[in-house]
Amino acid sequence: MAFSAGEIANIANAALDYYLNKGDTFKQSLQKRPFWDALESKAKTFPGGKGDISLAVEGDFGAGGTNDSIKGYTHDDKVNFFTPANIKRANFTWREHHIGLTMTHTELKIDGISVVDTNGERTSNHSQRELTVLVNLLEDKLFALGEQYARGMNTLAYGDGTADPKALAGLGALVRPNPAAGTVGGLDSVANKWWRNRARTAAYSTAVTATPALAGHGGDAVTSNVADGGALAQVLQFEYRQLTRYGGKPTAAFCGSAFLDALEKELRANGIYSQTGFASGSTDISVGKLNFMGTEFQYDPTLDDLNLSKRCYWLDMKNIKLMKMDNEWRKDHTPARPADQFILYRSITSTGAMVAQQLNSSLVIDIK
């Protein structure tokens, strides 16, 4: 029995709505994406408008040495006053994203489904089998659409915005391997040293060699070594103190496989003593989840895909976040078919940006 174009559209909408609302993690995904899942689970919204997403930040509190220091006085000595004027704005441009699928009437006919497409004519009383066939046909395409959407947004979330200037600038533009150069949200990281993430990378080592004063924000990539309790573990201990120094707190760590291999090797070599002593007897020799001060160091396969298996991002997720425009995130569209083509279109669009409220509570760290 024939389906009208409107009925085809309704079934497609219902199927697509099912896939888009199964959950933020896209359960049908073939590869885990813990960073993207964490971003979406903690995302905030903002209203539409002409301007950027603008945040007020402040890292200086005096007046550049002009009347802003405490001094003693006695009797009728004159005293000085200063006017704080240190609030700056970080501006992040929201971006629009699209992905879409198409299906021809020919494909439907091959699957035994006929489409009535004359002046909105509708047909009723279809068999349950025909509905199932149609949904199964769409299921394969919607699986691909959902997977490609998740993969694309996940890749953008780790990027620095250079691959596609019209798409959102991701973590690479916020928590940078060399935080002492360039801008974040339009604010200069050279002039505002408090507007820098921490880094333990080869790129930052080069910057520190040229300007030793930059060492306060990190240094070279770490050579993992099991001696003396573990070189990488010791660096993480040091970095945790620095990351919490200004009121922030790292809450999530996303690691490549080589980084976790090194950390697990140090753990095995040094052992963890418990109430029952060291491992003995019939014991599972695997290393369980690695945690530090309540933060789980998670494997993110995307870092391997990006040739960053030796990298870890230790992030303060309260201050590094995804912002979604109200009613414009993962929005389903049903574009009308062209007059001269018998094609079914479906699209997903998302409008938003990644923003930073504080940078010195997040770290990018590599191993050699």
| Contact residues for 151 (Cβ-Cβ < 8 A; gap 6+) | none
What is the predicted pLDDT for the residue at 202?
Answer: 97
For residue 282, give Cα distances in angstroms to 38, 67, 275, 290: 36, 70, 17, 22
What is the predicted pLDDT for the residue at 48?
Answer: 83
Per DSSP, helices labelled H in the chain are: 5-20, 34-41, 105-110, 128-158, 202-210, 231-243, 257-270, 301-305
pLDDT in tens, 159-169: 999 999 999 99
Q: How far is CA 240 from the centre of its chain?
A: 21
What is the predicted pLDDT for the residue at 182?
Answer: 94
β-bridge mates for residue 254, sequence order: 298, 313
What is the predicted pLDDT for the residue at 333?
Answer: 84
β-bridge mates for residue 297, sequence order: 253, 290
Distance CA 175, CA 157 (A): 12
Q: Degrees (nearest 5) of the Cα angle 256, 252, 151?
A: 55
Which amino acid type is present at position 94? W
β-bridge mates for residue 295, sequence order: 292
Low-confidence ranges of the chain (pLDDT < 50): 23-29, 119-123, 277-282
Q: What is the pTM of this model?
A: 0.83
What is the predicted pLDDT for the residue at 286?
Answer: 61
What is the predicted pLDDT for the residue at 85?
Answer: 79
| Residue pair 233/297 in contact by the 8 Å Cβ criterion | no
| Residue pair 120/8 in contact by the 8 Å Cβ criterion | no
What is the predicted pLDDT for the residue at 280?
Answer: 45
Distance CA 337, CA 52 (A): 34
